[in-house]
Amino acid sequence: MRVLGIDPGLTRCGFGVVDGTVGRSPGLVAVDVVRTDASSEVAQRLLRLEVAFEEWVVKYRPDVVAVERVFAQHNVQTVMGTAQAAGVAMLVAARHQLPVALHTPSEVKAAITGSGRADKAQVGAMVTRILRLDETPKPADAADALALAICHVWRGSAGDKISRATDQAAQLAARQRRAYALARRTLPTDLNSRGV
C-alpha cells in the first residue's frame, strides 16, 4: 500500500510518501515541505498548496491519503490555516477518488513512538529509525508527514480491512433479507396465511 501523508499547514505543509504493509517496515518514497509566503493572500496560498497536492497525487499515485486531524489550539489563526490546508488536501484526494484517513497527533505519536505525548524530536528520531534514513527529515513538518503515512500503514490498513469486512457482512445480510422477503411473497397462499 502506498500512503501519502500530509501534515497540513498554511505556511509549511509536510508531504511524505511511504510504501508498506502491516508487519513489514515501510519504505520511503518521497518527502518534502511546501512553503507559502505569509505576505500573500490566503486564497493564493491555498492555490499554491492545491497545485502541490495535485502534483504529488499524480506523480506518486498513492492508494490513500492520510491527513492530520485538525485539533483546537490557543492560536485560532494557526488552526484556521491548518484546517484550510487540510481541506484542500481532502478535496484533491476526493477529485482523484482516493480514500482519506484522518489521524490525530496523539494517535500518530503513539503509533510511531509508543507514547501519545512524544515530542517532535522523538517522532523525528523514530521516523528516521523506522525508515532506515541517514538523517532526520527537516523541518519537523516533513518528519510529521512521514509519521502520518507510517501510522496509516500500521493502523489504518487494519481498520480498512475491518471496515471492508463490516461492509461485506452488511451487504450479505441485506441480500439475505431480500431473498427471504421474495421467498415469503412466492409461497402458496395457504402456507403464507399460517405464518410460515
What residues are labeled active site?
Answer: 7, 68, 141
Q: How confident is the model at residue 121 (pLDDT cuts 50, 70, 90)?
A: very high
Q: 3-state class of 132 per DSSP?
A: coil
Residue 141 annotated in ligand binding: yes
157 pLDDT more than 80: no
Half-sphere exposure of 88 (CA within 13 A, CB side): 24
Residue 7 annotated in ligand binding: yes
For residue 166, the model assigns a pLDDT of: 52
- The pTM of the full predicted model, rounded to 2 decimals, is 0.79
Q: Which residue matches cell numbers 482519506? A: 100
Residue 160 annotated in ligand binding: no
Predicted confidence (pLDDT) per residue in 178-189, tens digit: 877 777 777 666
**Cα 155 from chain centre:** 10
For residue 3, what are the β-bridge partners? 18, 64
Strand bridging mode 27-35 / 12-19: antiparallel
| pLDDT-above-70 percentage for the chain | 86
Hey, what CATH topology would domain 2-165 get?
Nucleotidyltransferase; domain 5 (3.30.420)
For residue 73, the model assigns a pLDDT of: 64
